Amino acid sequence: MNLQERDKAVNWHPYTQMKTADDAIPIVKGKGVYLFDDKGNKYIDAVSSWWVTLHGHAHPYIAQRVSEQLHTLEQVIFAGFTHEPAIQLSENLLKLLPQNQQKVFYSDNGSTAVEVALKMCIQHAYNQGKEKTKILAFKNAYHGDTFGAMSVSGRSVWTKPFGEMLFEVIFIDTPTSENIEDIKAQISAYQDEVVCFIYEPLIQGAAGMLMYNAEDLDNLMKFCRANDILMIQDEVFTGFGRTGKLFAANYLSEKPDIMCFSKGLTGGTMPMGITTCSNEIYNAFLSDDKYKTLFHGHSFTANPLACTAALASMELLLNDETQQSIQRISGQHFSFSKVLREHSKVENVRQTGTILAWEIKNDHKTSYFNEIGKKLYDEFLSRGIVMRPLGNVMYLVPPYCVSTEELNFIYKNILQVLDSF
Ligand SMILES: *Cc1c(COP(=O)(O)O)cnc(C)c1O
């Protein structure tokens, strides 16, 4: 049996209708922006393998550091024990975050980072004897696929079978200068019952790269602060340079209470999640009363290999070369966005840093099942480019090692595909 037949016999793929899906393409090697399949074809990974890869595939420096760590200490229980990679990573990360972020809690992925954040907020109120249980989130939000994360995500075809079991959330629109007063009135109707507000800052990724202004978010955050509503800033996607700055937080003057990270955290090499919080949150769990403990943990909490990968990736991220690449990609996207805006088949072109998105003009209603997405996906694959449209929304989220020429190659193909459609 070949790899595809063996795969089909045993593997169940994510977000995939296995009955109708094409066979998965076996990838045998990755190098820089390229993925290589078993037939010798190569593909530019224009979506950073679901938005995680920062410095390209199989980066030699990260590989070397992880390999050394693997020979030194691969894993240790993180209750009652600690290790250098976790200490160093927490120190390095906190230095880059808003000053009020003071403590780091480790978990395994973006969804768990969100679960931890929600539990911190709810128990923060509980430990102080406050009866606050309502949570605010944006319509169309995406915070992950576990139950708590699903609950604070927009209701959609993804969450439908579980609808009855998801906890109730107050959904608000993303803020604009026009609707901000209505949103504040909607929140005020719940008086003191709202415990926290969770949001993807500046960009709602999975919703289709929907973007909104930092100024309007600041305005909403100010309102939450004044009304004693804790803020969870989910930077799982926006973190580590995607927006053109290190974090979306760098565009905001207001500070969240809690932040969530994953995806680019390890440069896309290993699964890990981080939830950071202020001392104000942390201190509410300090007590002689055991019931006030944060009873949460995962077997692989603060895995030394993943911490080491994150340390190596952050070193690469902060060096001049990578910072210049991020600015170059942002600049190239900006120029190309002007070309796209002129195209008759394109609408709603939008960009934040290295993230560029646009929509194919479409007379039918946008939906995840929109046939056009699949056609585009296949067409780009045949041209050696991995793009993954969300319905009729197309986007680029390339690794930072993508060269000027490689980006131009992607742009050229996009225009050719648009023209031929
Ligand atoms: C991807 C994503 C998550 C979930 O992360 P997983 O690692 O896939 O569980 C949460 N929040 C945002 C904003 C994301 O983009």
**Would the CB of 109 count as within 6 Å of ligand 1?**
yes
Q: Which residue has the tokens 């579980």?
A: 162
Q: pLDDT tens for residues 348-396?
A: 999 999 999 999 997 665 555 568 889 999 999 999 999 999 989 999 9
Q: Do residues 93 and 322 lie in contact, with contact meaning Cβ atoms separated by under 8 Å?
A: no
Summarize the confidence of residues 156-175 as an average pLDDT: 96
Q: Which residue lies with its CA nearest to atom 10 of ligand 1? A: 143
Q: How far is the CA of 14 from the centre of ligand 1 (A)?
A: 13
pLDDT at 371: 80
Decide if 15 is catalytic.
Answer: yes
pLDDT at 274: 99
Q: How far is the CA of 370 from the centre of ligand 1 (A)?
A: 23
Decide if 234 is catalytic.
Answer: yes
Comparing CA positions, the residue from 215, 213, 275, 207 lying closest to residue 239 is 275
**Would the CB of 235 count as within 6 Å of ligand 1?**
no
The type of residue at 116 is V
Q: pLDDT tens for residues 321-357?
A: 999 999 999 999 999 999 999 999 999 999 999 999 9
Q: How far is the CA of 142 from the centre of ligand 1 (A)?
A: 7
Tokens of 187: 């929140």
Query: Is 0.95 surpassed by the pTM of this model?
Result: yes
Summarize the confidence of residues 282-305 as an average pLDDT: 98
Q: Within 10 Å of residue 77's Cβ, how many Cβ atoms?
A: 11
Choose one of 47, 142, 152 to mutate for the ligand 1 pocket test, by most ligand atoms within 8 angstroms of C-beta: 142
Tokens of 195: 């415990």
Q: pLDDT tens for residues 305-316?
A: 999 999 999 999
Decide if 173 is catalytic.
Answer: no
Atom of ligand 1 nearest to the CA of 114: 10
Catalytic residue among 43, 199, 212, 234: 234
Q: pLDDT tens for residues 63-77?
A: 999 999 999 999 999
Confidence band (pLDDT; 50, 70, 90) for 241? very high
In the sheet that 27-31 helps form, which strands lie side by side, from edge to edge? 27-31, 34-37, 42-45, 385-386
Rounded Cα–Cα distance for residues 363 and 322 (Å): 41
Catalytic residue among 263, 395, 400, 411: 263
Q: Do residues 310 and 267 lie in contact, with contact meaning Cβ atoms separated by under 8 Å?
A: yes
Q: pLDDT tens for residues 114-138?
A: 999 999 999 999 999 999 999 999 9
Phi, psi (deg, nearest 5) at residue 210: -80, 130
Q: How far is the CA of 236 from the centre of ligand 1 (A)?
A: 6
- 273-278 vs 258-261, strand pairing mode: antiparallel
Decide if 218 is catalytic.
Answer: no
